[in-house]
Amino acid sequence: MRTVLAAGLLLFFVGVVQAQPPASEMSSQLVVLSDQDSHVTIAGFGRIDSPQRWTRVWLEHLGLDPRYDTPNRAAMEVDFERCMVVAIFGGTTANTAGYKVASVIETTDSVVVRFEANTSQSAGPDGGAERTTPYAFVVLPKTNKPIVMQQGVRQYIGEPPTWKHVAELPPVTKTLEREEVSLSHPERVEIPADIPFLIVRNAREKDGTVYKQRLFASISYQTAHHEAWQDCLQWVASPYHKMEDFRLAAPQTNNQYLLRGLKDGAARCISNIQALRKAGVPDETIRKRAQRALVEVDVSPVSDSTAKGIPLDPVPPPTN
């Protein structure tokens, strides 16, 4: 079975947890589906609380387009009135045949899911490693508590695992529920622009001088017309967009500063294009302007790192 995640991926590695959480109630998983061949190639976690989001995640896990294949690829049925799904995706890795859930512990303020990777060793002239994209779908009783994900790590075979906090999935709110519907049924945003991105970062000379280093233009003509980029722009335009949803549409990088900059740049680009259209500027004129534009994304490790320099300012409507 194959499975992909397009909603709600979180990658926050926070530290090592060794103490057993104080449990007020022991819980357990209802069903676990796991294997090593998902079409999701970026590691992360997702919390799925609605049929709409589940359908989208399931189809993307299968490598199918949720907009067109929904009637032909029914997802595993889950009663979301009583249950929820936690998705675990290992991304592209090697010799990992899915995941096993060690325990599910419900405390007074969270649900702690502890899991381990099913790994194996290989041998051969080239090491014999097998490329895998492991995943697990864990069906749990529905709750509105945060879900704390802890992964077991072992330094030596046979020793007990140390539980490392790898993610926390926030509780569901009405806003997120509305967002799920929005993301599951995105309206197409036709962007008539070829948008190049110039990546820059802070670099330091031997004498300590800091300067801006230009790296590469990563998202340009081809990507701007890719359906994933179109969906990404729609997510950014939605009042309920989230950073992790944007991340799925730009899988070329894991750099959080870069992704935040791309998100801000896409939002500003949409705003400017809409303003130009409202002002009566023809799409062909907008396209020509965009081809001359350059979105500069500063990926320097500072909190206010954002996209800059998008020369698509609105213009007044044409006069007769």
Confidence of residue 301 (pLDDT cuts 50, 70, 90): very low
Confidence of residue 85 (pLDDT cuts 50, 70, 90): very high
Per the model's pLDDT, the better-predicted residue between 199 and 259 turns out to be 259
pLDDT at 268: 58
The CA distance from 49 to 178, in Å, is 12
Residue with tokens 């926030």: 170
The CA distance from 21 to 105, in Å, is 8
CA angle 164, 303, 206 (to 5 degrees): 95
Confidence of residue 66 (pLDDT cuts 50, 70, 90): low
Confidence of residue 264 (pLDDT cuts 50, 70, 90): low
Neighbouring residues of 124: CB distance < 8 A, sequence distance ≥ 6: none
What's the DSSP call for residue 72? G
Per the model's pLDDT, the better-predicted residue between 191 and 232 turns out to be 232
CB 232 within 8 A of CB 218: no
CB 295 within 8 A of CB 311: no
pLDDT tens digit sequence for 93-140: 888 889 999 999 988 889 999 999 988 776 655 566 788 889 999 999
Look at residue 61 and tell me whether its pLDDT is greater than 80. Answer: yes
Per the model's pLDDT, the better-predicted residue between 156 and 18 turns out to be 156
Residue with tokens 């991105």: 197
Strand 31-35 with 197-204, pairing: unpaired
* 266 DSSP β-pair partners: none
Q: Residue 191 is encoded by which pair of tokens?
A: 């962007």
The CA distance from 268 to 259, in Å, is 14
Confidence of residue 227 (pLDDT cuts 50, 70, 90): very low
Mean pLDDT of 271-289: 66
pLDDT at 59: 80
Burial category of 301 from C-beta neighbours within 10 Å (exposed 0-12, middle 13-18, buried 19 and up): exposed
**Model pTM above 0.75:** no
pLDDT at 211: 54
Dihedral angle over CA of 199, 200, 205, 211, nearest 10: 160
CB 104 within 8 A of CB 88: no
